[in-house]
Structure 1
Amino acid sequence: MGRLTKTAYTLGILCFLISCSFAVFYGHKIFTHDLPKAKKIVEKGRYHFVLVTEEMDNEYWRLVEKGAKAAAKKYGVILEYVGPKQANIDEHLKTIEMAAASKVDGIMTQGLSNKQFTPLINHVVLSYGIPVITVDTDTTNSHRIAYIGTDNYHAGYLAGKALIADTKGKANVAIITGNFYANHMIQRVQGFKDAVKNVNGIHIVAIEESHISRIRAAEKAYQILQEHPEVNAFYGTSALDGISIAKVVELKKREKDMYIIGFDVLPETIANIRKGIINATVVQHPYEMGYGSVKMMVELMEKKHIPSIVHTGTQVIRKKDLSDLHPNRMGEGKNNAIPN
């Protein structure tokens, strides 16, 4: 073997080993999510809670985190915000299992899928004795102690009624939803369908899933417009869907003949409403969900009664409503939906 060949061979092995070490390191980071270091942390707070999110860096979930941390500070508890880096149901479930195994005092999480989350929540509550409060998405048949979040069916129904009013009951609609398995996404789609089903001029042409991804939502919006040029209205059921739909509509120069209704009031959503690209959005209260979940868990620890369901309110806003939009809609403050 020549010197050049040996050098190339050695470099190849070195690169392979480095790439493997990075894979192991980042794989560890993804699957551990900086999980609880239980004993030392608990000594510094009254209680130790974990908020398990669907996707850690999602802007919507950062608002939930912000509310939860504000409540944790007020009530003197330790709160950890953990979850998959990107939406992944298996990682989400594993993170809940790991939080339970670390013997925290309480867990707040979504109840994304009845089939997968109900057995796990039941196991955490019944076997570990750790209370679970579902946030944003409920599993009604589980042993979760309480739910705080949107009435997702009602939110979808409101979106459908808004579309009917704004399009005068005539639209070829495409729906882009976060995914097909999550309870809240299913409910938002079903509520919308029920709202428009008796309107002869409204036709649902296509339904696609974005997997809570800006890129995937944009790809699906582009695909729909290529395959169904008759589409003149979009309904996006997750915070990122409407934003991505708007980008594609702009790219295709369809702003003037396209109606878009989305979810949530992220800064990009508000900017697109001001520009007239997104026509309406369904407002939720993620800050309240986070704040209220911690408050309720503290009350539970103190043997106080808490309601089994707290709906944090929902409304549809348009451009004319932006001046009246309370700061808490974008993650600052809280309102009366949080139980006293």
Structure 2
Amino acid sequence: MRKTVLLAAVAATALGAGPALAKKQLVIVVKGLDNPFFEAIHQGCEKWNKENASSEYECFYTGPASTSDEAGEAQIVQDMLSKADTVAMAISPSNAPLIAQTIKSANPSIPIMTVDADLAKEDAALRKTYLGTDNYLMGKKIGEYIKKAKPNGGTICTIEGNPAADNILRRAQGMRDALTGKEGLTALAGEGGWTEVAGCPVFTNDDGAKGVQAMTDILAANPKLDAFGIMGGWPLFGAPQPYRDLVGPLKDRLAKNDFVIGAADTIGDEVAIARDGLVTALVGQRPFEMGYKAPSVMIDLVEGKKVDDPVFTGLDECTKDTVDTCIQK
């Protein structure tokens, strides 16, 4: 009788009636699920799953509820590394040193890569490759747009996200280098004609409302401010109407390059904001492409194939005059 039952179970499985085998998980851990930028990565991950439904692998997207929860992201990385079906992981570190320490403590046997944001240079050996934006180049291009609009310099405030996020720090460095023609300055005090005003840079933890409030406070304290360099598009895509309310009265100054705003990203309402002349230039990333490419890169790592380091996904540059053609399709 037992033999008959076992034979029946084998037959049922062969006919597709048995339980499906669990897929190998290619895990993407992002800084926070509350950010539209990371939702674009999620959509890329899901497109890969749809196109590879018969694969033994599955792209699994996760992260803490909020981008401000650095400890939560580290805990998720630790938890996912402990799961037997996790075969590779791509991480966007909110706090690069904390994630590096988490990886060191876990000492995983599976390949780790970074996506969107990298580890600090001294911790780069902990991951196999970085997939995403050339963040230094992105910041440099933002700086070039600001400098082109105001070649004689002026006063500027840099809006940043998390003070320990490597990608944002690299963008800020690229912007400062472009503005001054010098490398490595961590604050501007007249170099190249540019001075960062008191209270800047402002760190907003990727929060759009906080970003707009910071810009409001800086403008109130510095009514003759010449420029903002916004290293992530949070104020524009995270709080578009408050941003419009704040910048709307400055539209004529923006049109004359009397006031300049160079900002990162081309997400959500940002392109419409550019079309309306409420930002000088946007330098955008390609998060959907990051999410779509990450599973294939992780599979190559799992299978021991050679993978370039880094793997850059390109940039899109948008101004009021180029908004209809600036985004790569």
Provide TM-score, normalisation by structure 1: 0.77
Match of 1:66 among 43, 46, 61: 43
CA separation of 1:300/1:64 partners in 2, compared to 1, >3 Å: closer, same or farther? same
Read off the aligned partner of 1:227 and give its amino acid letter.
A
Further displaced range: 316-325 or 179-188: 316-325
> Once the 2 structures are TM-superposed, how far is the Cα of residue 162 of structure 1 from its aligned partner?
1.1
Instruction: Indicate yes or no: 2:88 matched with 1:93.
Output: no
Aligned-residue offset at 1:56: 0.7
Q: Counterparts of 1:200 and 1:306 in 2: how far apart (Å)?
A: 39
SS at match of 2:290: helix
Q: CA deviation at 1:302?
A: 2.8
Contact 2:232 2:263 in 1 (8 A): yes
Distance in structure 2 (CA, Å) of the matches to 1:62 and 1:54: 11
Distance 1:73 1:283 in 2: 26
**Match of residue 220, structure 1, among 209, 214, 233:** 214
Q: Among 159, 162, 170, which residue is 2:142 paired with?
A: 159
In the alignment, structure 1 residue 233 sits paired with structure 2 residue 224: no
Aligned with residue 115 of structure 1, among 97, 107, 111: 97
Shift of 1:249: 6.3
Determine the structure 2 residue equivalent to 1:308: 309
* 8 Å contact kept, 2:132–2:311: yes
Query: What's the % identity of the aligned pairs?
Result: 22
**Are the structure 2 counterparts of residues 123 and 306 from structure 1 closer, same or farther at C-alpha, using a change threshold of 3 Å?**
farther
Equivalences for residues 22-37 of structure 1 within 5 A: none
Q: 1:68, 1:291 within 8 Å by CA — same for their partners in 2?
A: yes
Structure 2 counterpart of 1:121, which letter?
I
Q: Are residues 1:247 and 2:242 paired?
A: yes
Deviation at 1:234, TM superposition (A): 1.1
Q: How far apart are 1:44 and its partner, in Å?
A: 4.1
CA distance in 1, matches of 2:88, 2:20: 12
Secondary structure of the structure 1 residue equivalent to 2:311: strand
Contact 1:137–1:149, Cα closer than 8 Å, also in 2? yes
Shift of 1:79: 2.3
Instruction: Give secondary structure in 1 for the equivalent of 2:113.
Output: strand
Partner of 1:202: 194
Task: Tell me which amino acid in the other structure corresponds to 1:60.
Answer: F
**Conserved 8 A contact 1:175-1:207:** yes
Which runs of no fewer than 5 residues in structure 1 stay unpaired?
Answer: 1-40, 329-340
Corresponding residue to 1:102 among 75, 78, 83: 83
Classify 1:219/1:145 alpha carbon distance in 2 versus 1 (closer, same or farther; 3 Å): same
Return the letter of the residue paired with 2:193: G
Residue 267 of structure 1 aligns to a residue in which SS? coil
Does the 8 A contact of 2:262 with 2:280 survive in 1? yes
Work out the CA distance in 1 between the residues paired with 2:87 and 2:158.
Answer: 40
1:15-26 matches, within 5 Å, as: none
Cα root mean square deviation, aligned: 2.3
Using CA pairs below 8 Å that are at least 6 residues apart, which structure has the higher relative contact order?
2
Q: Which amino acid aligns with 1:154?
A: L
Separation in structure 2 between the aligned mates of residue 317 and residue 215 of structure 1, nearest angstrom = 23
**Residue type of the alignment partner of 2:245:** E
The 8 Å contact of residues 42 and 48 in structure 1, kept in 2 or not, is answered as: no
Q: 2:110–2:302: 8 Å Cα contact kept in structure 1?
A: no
User: 1:190-227 CA distances to partner (integer Å, 9 max, x unpaired)?
Assistant: 11111112564333223101111111111111110111
Q: Contact conserved, 1:56 with 1:85, CA < 8 A, in 2?
A: yes
Report what 2:252 is aligned to. 256
Q: How many residues end up aligned between the 2 structures?
A: 286
Name whichever structure is richer in helix by fraction: 1
CA spacing shift, 1:48–1:158, aligned 2, 3 Å: same
Per the normalisation by structure 2, the TM-score is 0.80
What is the rounded CA distance, in whole Å, between the counterparts of 2:146 and 2:105 in structure 1? 42
Per the alignment, residue 37 of structure 1 pairs with none
User: What residue ranges of structure 2 are gaps of 5+ in the alignment?
Assistant: 1-18, 182-190, 254-258
Task: Tell me if the contact between 1:122 and 1:143 (Cα under 8 Å) persists in the aligned partners.
Answer: yes
> What is the alpha-carbon distance in structure 1 between the residues aligned to residue 163 and residue 287 of structure 2?
22
- Report the secondary structure of 1:85's partner residue: coil
Shift of 1:176: 0.8
Q: What residue in structure 2 maps to residue 7 of structure 1?
A: none
Q: Deviations over 1:51-79 (max 9, x none)?
A: 11111131100111111222233333222
